[in-house]
Amino acid sequence: MIAGIDHFVLTVRSVEASCAFYQRVLGLQRLDEPNRPTALLFGSQKINLHEVGRTFEPKAKEPTAGAGDFCLVAASPLAEICASLAASNVAIEVGPVERTGAQGPMKSVYFRDPDGNLVEVSEYLT
């Protein structure tokens, strides 16, 4: 019944800081539209950003900055992601480590965004 994920929402302290981080570190593209949340585009998905105190309806029951924990699939080799993290002074907390994703074995690195959300970036091994 479900084919995939279109978008998810992150509640952040600062839309500007979050956009700058994800653009610089992961190459996501910012999208601003009138009366819509700022979004970060990648592949055929997006992350909508809701700033604390300036959320859009409907929203999570208790939107909280830093409560996110999600995995993104890399479009480039994980070594390039690690190099981008290092160049941006973003510490890798765990990895590279082997994990199992929705489509099979993968290698992942974990790090935190400016709000403390846990971001996992992975590449499939098959």
Give the DSSP per-residue string, 75-125: SS-HHHHHHHHHHTTPPPSEEEEEEEETTEEEEEEEEE-TT--EEEEEEE-
120 is catalytic: yes
Whether omega for the bond prior to residue 58 falls within 30 degrees of 0, making it cis, is: yes
Q: What is the pTM of this model?
A: 0.92
Q: What domains appear along the chain, each with residue ranges and CATH number?
A: 7-124 (3.10.180.10)
Give yes or no for residue 60 having a pLDDT over 90. Answer: no
pLDDT digits (tens, 9 = 90+) for 66-104: 999 999 999 999 999 999 999 999 999 999 999 999 999
Choosing from 33, 57, 80, 120, the catalytic residue is 120
